Amino acid sequence: MMDLQRLAERIDWSFGNPELLRQAVTHRSAAGPNNERLEFLGDAILNFVIASEIFQRRPDLREGELSRLRAALVNKNALAGIARDIALGPHIVLGSGELKTGGRRRDSILADALEALIGAVYLDGGFSAGEALILRLYEGHLAELPDMEALKDAKTRLQEYLQARHLALPHYALEETHGRAHEQTFRVTCQCEALAPVGEGVAANRRQAEQAAAEDLLAQLQADEPMDSGDKRP
Share of the chain above pLDDT 70, in %: 94
Annotated catalytic sites, by residue?
A: 43, 115
Delineate the domains of the chain, giving CATH numbers in brackets. Answer: 4-146 (1.10.1520.10), 154-224 (3.30.160.20)
Q: Which residues of the chain have pLDDT under 70?
A: 1-2, 150, 181-182, 226-234
To the question of whether residue 210 is assigned a binding role by annotation, the answer is no
To the question of whether residue 39 is assigned a binding role by annotation, the answer is yes
The predicted-structure confidence for 30-73, as pLDDT tens digits, reads as follows 988 999 999 999 999 999 999 999 999 999 999 988 998 999 89
To the question of whether residue 139 is assigned a binding role by annotation, the answer is no
Find out whether 120 and 24 touch, Cβ atoms under 8 Å: yes
- In this structure, what is the dihedral angle of CA atoms 143, 156, 81, 176, given to the nearest 10 degrees? -170
| Largest Cα–Cα separation, the chain | 68
Q: In the prediction, which pLDDT does 233 show?
A: 37
Q: Give the pTM.
A: 0.72
